[in-house]
Structure formats: C-alpha cells, structure tokens
Chain A
Amino acid sequence: MAMASAPKRPALALRPAGRWLAAVARELATPRTLVVGGVLVIVGYLAVVPLVYLLHDTFTGPGGLSIDAFTRAYTANSQAGRMMINSLEFAVGSGALALGIGTLLAYVQVRTDAPLKGLFFAASLVPLIIPGILYAAAWIFLADPRIGLINVVLFQPILGHGLFNTFSMWGMIWVQGLHLAPIAFLLMGAAFRSMDPALEEAALMAGAPRRLLLRRITMPLVRPAIVSAILLMFVQSLESFEVPGLLGLQNGIYVFTSRIYFVLRQFPIDYGAAGAYALGLLAFAVAGVAASGWLSRNARNYQTVTGKAFRPRPMELGRARLLVGALVVLFFAVAVVLPVAVLVYTSLLKFYSAPSLDSVRTMSLANYRTVLHMPLATTALRNSVLLGVGAATVVMFLTAVASWVVVRTRAMGRRLLDVVAFTPLVVPGLVLGLALSFVYLRTALPIYGTLWILLIAYSTRYLPYGMRYASSAMSQTSGELEESAHVCGASWWQTFRRVLLPLASSGILAGWVYILVVSFRELSSSILLYSPGKEVLSILIWEQFENGQFTTLAAIGVCMVAILVLLVLVAYRLGARFGVDDSSR
C-alpha cells in the first residue's frame, strides 16, 4: 500500500536518495535476491567461522599478534621440508591414480557398450562406502610384507619374500587412490552423461581416428569436470588422515595431517602450530583452486548442454569389448572383492589370523550377534541416516545456488565466494569441532549437544565437495536455456527450479550421493561434537578400532556396506524418476 501510494506524492519527501533507496529495496525484495543473498550469507557463515577460529589461534601468542606458531611448526626439528614433499607426493600420486581409474571407468560405463555394466555400480561405490580406517586395515591384511594374504599366497612361495609393501609411499598411494577413485568416477560420469556427442560424431564423420577424437574432442569437453576432480582428490588426499596414519607412520612417512594429529595430542595443546600446519595445507589448496580457475577459463567453450536435443549414443567397442570387460572385472576384483572378502573373512573370526584350518574351525557369526546387540547400533544408524540425508540436501541446495552465482553471474567477489566455500576442506576436522563447540557453547540457541551441531559440522565440511559437483554441472549447462526461460516469462526461481536444477541434476545427484556416503564416514569433528544419545555410525566404528576389536569392526563394516549400497540404489531409482539420465544402471 505504502509503495503504491508513494509515487502519487512526489513533492512530499522523496528526494533522489530516497527514491534510490526505494528502488534498491524493491530490487532486494525479489525472490532471486532473497534466495541468493540468504545462501551467500549461510555459505559465508559456515565457512568463515572455523577459518576465523583457526586464524585467531595461529596468529595470537601470549603477547598479542605473533608468528611464533610458524616458527614452531616449520623450523628447528620439524623436518617440514620432507613432510611437505611427502604430502605432495602422496596427494599427487593418489590423485593421479584415482583420476586415471575413475575417468576410464566412467567413460567406459557411460559412453561405450562395454559388458557387465552392473559391476560398475559396485566397483565405483563400495570403496567410497568402506570407511578409510577399514579400507586401510583391509589392505594391511592383504599387502603387509609379512602377513598380507597376497604376499603369503602368491609371492612368498615363489620369491621367498613378499612383493608388495603397503607401508610404503607406493602402498599409501595405491590404497588412497583406490579409495578416491569413486569421486572421480562420480564426477566424470556425470560430465560424460551430459555431454552432447554431436561434436564427436562430427569428428568421426570427418574421419578422425578414435585416439585423436578422445584427445581433441572428448577430453577438452569434460575439462571442467576433470579439473574439479583433480582438485578435489588432490586436496582430499592432502587432508585425509586414515591412510597416512595407519600406513605411513610405520616407516616414519609423515604428512601434514599426521603432524597435526601429533601436535593436537600433546599437552599443553599447541593450537598455534596445528593452525600453522593447517594454513600450510590451505596455501597448497588455494594454489590448487587458482590453478583450476586458470584451467577452466573460457568456460563457455565447455557448455555442451544447450538448447539442442541430444541423446548420447554409446560407442561400439567391437572386438575390444572383451578386453574392456576383462579389465573391468580385474578392477572390480582388486578394489572391491579383495578388501570386502578380507572384511567378511575377518568378521567371522575371534581374532585376526591368516587363513588356515585352525582359523576356519573357529569361524562363527558371533561378531554379527555382537553388532546386533550393541545398544547404540540402532541409535547410531538412525542418526547417521538423518545427518547424511540432511547434510547432503542442505549442501547441494546451497552449492547449487552458490555455484550459479560463481559460474553464471558477473557479481563482484564471485571468485572469493568460490575460495571461501572451499576453505572448510583444509580446516582439520578436529579444529572444526573445536571451533563449533566454542561458538555454540556460547550461544543461547539449543544447538550444542544436539544433532543440529553435527548437521552444521557436516554441512560445513562437505560444502567444498558440493561446490565442485555443482559448479562443474553448472558450467556444462549453457546460459541460453535460462535466457529462453526468462524470455518465456519464467521467474528466476521458476527457471532455477524447473530448468537449471533438472539440467544439472546428474551432477547434483552425484554430489548428493557422495555427501551422503562420506557423511557416514565423518569422524574427526563428530568425535568432539557428539553427545550421549547422539552417536553416529562412524563413532561406533572408531570405538571398535580404538578398542582393537578388528573382528567386530569388520562385521560393522560389512553391515554398513550393505546398508549404503541399498540407500544409494534407492537414491538412483528416485533420481531416475525425476529425470536423471538412467544410463547409469
């Protein structure tokens, strides 16, 4: 009413400044500004709180501002140079291995007529589902130089000694790379699926050989996804603790995270030095973001989802079909069957021992009975499902909007938004836990001690992953579709909901699944934030590990794999109904 009557009384007080304000207010009140503004505030808040906490602890000493923490962390006896080289080797190595495997699998699955496509689903998701600790433990039982099954069964009889050593840099890269490959698979699969094959077909018609086609057409078209995948896996390897913790320490191979772990458990706790290491990680990661920004410049060139209809047609492999099938089976055997088999085997024992007549005789289902009778198992399962679904939904909604701002608009500071949304990746989980408990212990809102604080923690931790999935999906979707919707009179919100989201849904669903799955694994921040009654599955698993109950642990792992495979299947079925390309099945 007031707005309507205002123009009738121009003489009254509406001076130019007032009119400008009214215009701004009108502009601000649109759904677009409200949604975008709200999302930006939330994303900024989630990412900035732990970062500020980290910076505060790192740069303050007893006498105010200081950089002593860096001196403690990087000089004297810290062996910081060696540690940084180890970190880089580990991150680059496992990132490269994961990208190679993930891309190849994704391409074969989405774009060819390879046999045994059902296997891809398991091959790509099971390693992701198995918690890092369990996956590393399984590989100890497989490739330990003395007791590893592969060494004992295959190599010791021939060579007299084991061939593989899981406690080496190569062993670490192998385990981490296999464990990460699903991320690459999910990202690249989404990219290949939403790629218009017209260009490939044109090249084929023009007589280009297959290899040239791959190098000059296909790969450049999925470059944003490749860059995102490299970045994610590089940073995730830098940030992961399980593999360096379980496999690296044996031979003194330290990386950033194992140093942080070490520093955080001393008394008095040197938060400053831990922060200095975390900021070192951040520097590497920011360099990664910058590089990825540079690599995906001219993003318009990669927009393949345009107004034209397309139907990806699978490439016929011909005689190579058999070979490709065999390779898929091999990968499946190594990455899935072996570790899961070892887990199943272990879950039937009373204590771990290499397979023998004795161990077979003691086998029983006792560990599964223990799991079923764990008083916390149902609570933890319920909480984990709630948090996983909740965090995945919150993050993918936030990042879908945020990535739209980054990719589509020319808003000032959109690069900064990209970087800000990325920072939680390098805040160690434990520091995130400390930061959140610090903040919410001092607010009146009933958040501390409830599931909400865990939801906030998970949403923060997985923001960067959501951002990568969403922005690589967005950058493949051409702006012309939005423009058409706009021309047809659709509001921004309608366009976003009815045009953009469905088009990017393949990538967004992949991100959703990924976050759901990794939420089940989240440990380092949960461990400080959970309260009695608010336990989650990862806590239960960690407890079993800490207590050395490998056999019960294995039983929980087997159950968890079964539950998550089921959940993910349901998600894909539902996704298929809402228009996600169903070639994944």
Chain B
Amino acid sequence: MVGTLAVVVALVLSACGKSVTSGTGGGGSAAGTPAEKVYQQLNALPADQQRAKAIEQAKKEGTLELYTSLTDDLVASVKEAFEQQTGVKMNVFRAASETVLQRTLQESSANRTGNDAIETNFGEMGLLSKQGVLADYRGASFGSVPESGRFPGWLADRLNIMLPAWNTKLIKAGQEPRSWEDLADPRFKGKLTLELTDSDWYENVTKSWLRHGKTQAQVDDLWQKMVANANVAKGHTVMAELLGAGQTAVDGMNYSYITQNTAKKGAPVAYRSADGIAHTIGFARPQGVSMMKGAKHPAAAWLFNDWMLNEGQKLLVSLGLTPSAKVPGDNSLQGVTLEPYDVQGLTQDSKTWDDRYDRLLRGLKQIGGD
C-alpha cells in the first residue's frame, strides 16, 4: 500500500515538475498567433467593411466563448442583445473577477485558452495584460473610447462609480454623508458598513486626502475613526441588499449602479441627496474588455469587442451602468463629481494597499506613510 502511494506521489511530482502556479507564461508566446493574424486583418479593413466581415467569419467559427465578471442579470441582457444583433451564439462563464483571472491564467499557462473574449475588473485586466495574453482591439469602435480608458492590451467599456450609499429611512435628509471625511463622524457610530476588499477605494481616498493637503497623521486618524464606526461585510451587492433591509444605515462605499438598481426594486436606498446631487467626490474605476491571443474563435472575439464598445454601450445605459463612451441619454453621472481613479498607483502596487487595508480593518496600528 505504501508502495502504491509512493508511486502515485512520484508520478504526480513528475507531472508537476515545473512551477505549479507561479510561472504563468502567457498563452501567446510567439508574435503572431493565428488569432492575432485574424485581429490584424480585421483591424486593417476599411471601417465600414469590418463588421460585416467579422460577422461572416464569426458565424463560420460557430460560437463566442466569453469569460466575464458582469453580474448574472446583466450578462443575460448582454448575451441576448449580442446574439440578436449579430446572429453569433455566445457561451458565458460568469464568476467573480478573481475567479475569472485564475481560470484564464491557468488555461493560458497550459496553452489551452478556453475563452475568446474577456470582460472584467481593472486590476484583473491589468494583470492579464502584464502576462501578455491579451490582444489589442483597434477596430472601428476604438475611437469611441476616451483617452483615459485606453490601456495596453485592453479598453475600458464601463465605469464603476465609487460613492457612499445610505438607507433613506434610517438617515434623515441632511444627515447623510456629504464627503468621505463624514464617514469618520461620530454620528455614524455603529451605523457604517465597509467592504472587506475595497482596498483600491482606500488607496484613492487616502491619496486624494494627501493631495488636498492633509498630513499622513490626519489621514490615518480619519481612517481609524471611520473603522471605529464600522462593521465589515463581504460583497457590494450583498451590502446594498442589507442596506435596503435596514441592517446597516450607511455603506461607506458602494458602486452607484448597484445602489441605483437596488433602489429601483423599491428599497429605500440612495447615493444622491434629496437635491439630486452626490456631494461626496467619487472615483470612477474603469472596467475592461479585450480579446485573447490564444482565442479559438478570433473573429467572434473581435466582433464582441467591436459590439461592446458600440451597441453594447447603449445597452449598458439601459441597464443602469455607466458606459466609458459618451452615450446620449446616459444620466448615470448626473449630479456626480469625479476625481481621477489612480490607475498608475494601483497598477504598480495593489498588494501593499490590500495589506494595509486588511490591517486597518483588523484594527491593527497603521505603519504610517507609504
């Protein structure tokens, strides 16, 4: 028996001879994968011919395989609209952004890319781009993406707006938080909920405070007070649901579209004051879309990017989201003032901020400064 086990162990060890998870070498090693050639051909066509050619080829390829972290209800609408408007069938793997990342990295490190296109969060897109598995879309819809939404390997298709949210039955008009500093106010003692993984929000608020003249000591003090007011929850949509149920009175930060969609169901929640203005200055985190270098259905991948940055943008508006392109009728930013999201800082070093935010929530003394 021991012998059998030893043999099994030896077999497994030899199978895992190389690095198991650390070295994810990126699927598209050579400069021109077959998929990349298709992308280049489509990009090179005159703008008015691209779409027709892509649809024709995508139909021959059969289906589009998409990995995304868009929530379930949104994915359903995207799938329906895409299939209807292009005639190309779409299969979706939907999961939390970190799972989408894990799966994509695992598959590309084994050179078995399972998806053609991807749509997920800022941090994950940046990481995948660093691994060299994403290809640049440069088709006709590229022009609609604003400068600030163009990144190496991917493009922003929507924005998540970070703002405080509150229960309008539990917080009287005028008492709601009107700035990030307000969240540290004693009036929210025991009434505030913070999300476990919002370290990028923590980074943005911290740097914004420092930019506007606060000292590190003042910043640390504000955070300590805010945490002293707060409980911690996991998941923004869950937070919004519990906010509506009155379990908590204020969400320190939630994405405005989640608050808005919860309010649409009839729950007493809001991120704008009675005057229609969100007095806290928000941050807009870009969420991205891209194509895989190792895609098995490259024309379908290209088509999805082209569609998402064009017709898809209007669909996002109808779903209550904030598109990255300017779309007539989009009032998701009405009454909202934004500061730029710290793309550079978080691309370079998100881990330090993850750790610091984690320590903060666990009530550990901050190590001041950066």
Contact = CB atoms under 8 A, between A and B. Distances in A.
B247 A144 contact: yes
Contacts of A533: 91
B66 to A, nearest CB: 9
A454 B20 CA distance: 21
Nearest to A440: B110
A119 interface: no
B252 to A, nearest CB: 14
Interface string B321-348: 0000000000000000000000000000
Say which size band chain B's interface belongs to: 35 or more
Interface in A135-157: 140-141, 144, 146-147
Contacts of A352: 241, 244-245
A434 B106 contact: yes
A245 B234 contact: yes
B21 to A, nearest CB: 5
A41 interface: yes
A528 B8 contact: no
B246 A147 contact: yes
B91 A41 contact: no
Contact of B237 (A40, A375, A547): A547
Q: Which of A437, A531, A547 gathers most chain B CB within 10 Å? A: A547
A548 B5 contact: no
A411 to B, nearest CB: 6
B103 A437 contact: yes
B71 A441 contact: no
A441 B112 CA distance: 7
Contacts of A412: 1-2
A53 B266 contact: no
A416 B91 CA distance: 44
Interface stretch (A122-130, A258-266, A289-297, A319-327): A258-266
B92 interface: yes
A318 to B, nearest CB: 47
A550 B243 CA distance: 12
Interface residues of A, number: 72
Interface stretch (A93-101, A215-223, A246-254, A491-499): A246-254
A354 B242 CA distance: 11
B246 A353 contact: yes
Given A79-B364, A267-B127, A350-B266, A448 B112 contact: yes
A303 B94 CA distance: 51
Contacts of A351: 241, 244-245, 262, 265-267
Contact of A527 (B99, B244, B351, B355): B99
A416 B96 CA distance: 38
Contact of A438 (B16, B92, B266): B16
B245 A437 contact: no
Contacts of B359: 77
Interface string A325-364: 0000000000000000000000000111110000000100
Contact of B4 (A41, A528, A547): A41
B240 to A, nearest CB: 6
Given A267-B123, A532-B91, A547-B237, A416 B21 contact: no
Interface string A211-255: 000000000000000000000000000000000011001111010
A413 interface: yes
A301 to B, nearest CB: 26
B233 interface: yes
A52 B9 contact: yes
Given A45-B8, A252-B232, A268-B351, A53 B245 contact: no
Contacts of B220: none
A548 B232 contact: no
A264 B98 contact: yes
A269 B351 CA distance: 9
A554 to B, nearest CB: 11
Contact of B262 (A49, A532, A548): A548
B16 A52 contact: yes
A544 interface: yes
A439 B15 contact: yes
Interface string A41-67: 100110011001100110010000000
B163 interface: no
Nearest to B358: A262
B238 interface: yes
B218 interface: no
Contact of A251 (B1, B231, B238, B267): B231
Interface in B245-273: 245-247, 258, 262, 265-267
B230 to A, nearest CB: 10
Given A544-B72, A546-B96, A266 B112 contact: no
B354 interface: yes
B147 to A, nearest CB: 25
Interface of A: 37, 40-41, 44-45, 48-49, 52-53, 56-57, 60, 77, 79, 140-141, 144, 146-147, 167, 245-246, 249-252, 254, 262, 264-269, 271, 350-354, 362, 375, 405, 411-414, 416-417, 420, 434, 437-439, 441-442, 448-449, 527-528, 530-533, 543-550
11 contacts: A44-B4, A60-B19, A265-B98, A266-B350, A267-B350, A350-B265, A351-B245, A353-B246, A532-B92, A544-B72, A548-B262
Given A262-B197, A438-B20, 4 more contacts: A48-B12, A412-B1, A434-B21, A548-B258
Interface of B: 1-2, 4-5, 8-9, 12-13, 15-16, 19-22, 65, 71-73, 76, 91-96, 98-99, 101-103, 106-107, 110, 112, 114, 123-124, 127, 196-197, 231-238, 240-242, 244-247, 258, 262, 265-267, 350-351, 354-355, 358-359, 361-364
